[in-house]
Amino acid sequence: MTAVSWPAGARVLSIGEALVDVVHDRAGGVAEHPGGSPLNVAVGLARLGATVQLASCLGDDAHGALVRRHAEASGVAIAPGTFGAIPRTSTARATLAADGGASYEFAVEWRPARPDVTGFDVVHTGSIAAYLEPGAATVLDAVGEASANALVSFDANVRPTLIGSRAAAVARVAEFAGLAQLVKMSDEDAAWLYPGRTAEQSASALATESGAVAVITRGAAGGLLAAGSEVVTFDAFPVTTVDTVGAGDSFMAGFLFAVVAGGLVPQLRRRAAHAGELHDAAHFAAACAAITASRAGADLPSADEVSAFVAR
């Protein structure tokens, strides 16, 4: 894996939910941690060395202050209009299973201010923010504007208890994928959205129908990259899993960091990238995800940690 550094002046905007995970562990303990996929992606990018802003929807309360401290401690700037749009910051109750996997119950309100997308090289969104109204329509409109000048990244990150019917979710994924140049989902997301398809079939269909590069992660089995008719696989790094909280977001952050630092944004924006040339980015992202899975909570790594991990 080639070492990369963030180009001067490059900026990322992550749009989406930031909330507080109330985590119930296997021993009966309870802890509160800032979370939400777009927040995690922003934090992961900043820890790797990127310049990142988060546009979200938070209350002026103790949970909102916890999210702010967490984001700013990692170097994430908070977009204007993020605070005060809702009375209480959203929460997610996460219960950890014996294998480290997490299940969630959400208390989420999503009414963001319309984010300013000008001046960003990359605009990322996904997860609850892409499905839950009334904010999802605001996000779709902002992403549509951003697509004229920025690389748009979308993580499907399906939460079935929050997003309504499968048909509505599939339609919304298609809308975002049609505006994005990079679409990511897990194999569990793909199986829920497209039952009866293999992960390879879902990746190929997404890439063919949207023109975007499609990435499907498969946990310890690695994942797939599809661009046009080309599909390549990438491996995961073997680790002892503590839990999977934030691992997918860590992959997303690592992948975005690597494609920007590797100078691949122009090819992606022209929809001219080949799956093979993105393999190194997926390898870097897989290392980020493995580190996060090897420790408790959504604790995303720094660039130095990733370098040390792959060099071991």
Distances (CA, A) of 131 to 59, 89, 127, 244: 20, 18, 7, 23
164 and 192 Cβ atoms separated by less than 8 Å = no
pLDDT given at position 31: 82
pLDDT given at position 236: 97
pLDDT given at position 2: 52
Residues 6+ apart with CB under 8 A from 142: 15, 114, 115, 117, 123
154 and 125 Cβ atoms separated by less than 8 Å = yes
pLDDT digits (tens, 9 = 90+) for 42-100: 999 999 999 999 999 999 999 999 999 999 999 999 999 999 989 999 998 877 777 76
DSSP 84-142: SSSSS--EEEEEE-TTS-EEEEEE----------TT-SEEEEEGGGGTSTTHHHHHHHH
| CA distance linking residue 252 with residue 23, whole number of Å | 22
pLDDT given at position 24: 78
The one-character DSSP state at 182 is E
Specify the length of the chain in residues. 312
The one-character DSSP state at 14 is E
Q: What global pTM score does this model have?
A: 0.94
Residues 6+ apart with CB under 8 A from 87: 59, 61
Domains of the chain: 12-305 (3.40.1190.20)
Low-confidence ranges of the chain (pLDDT < 70): 1-4, 100, 102
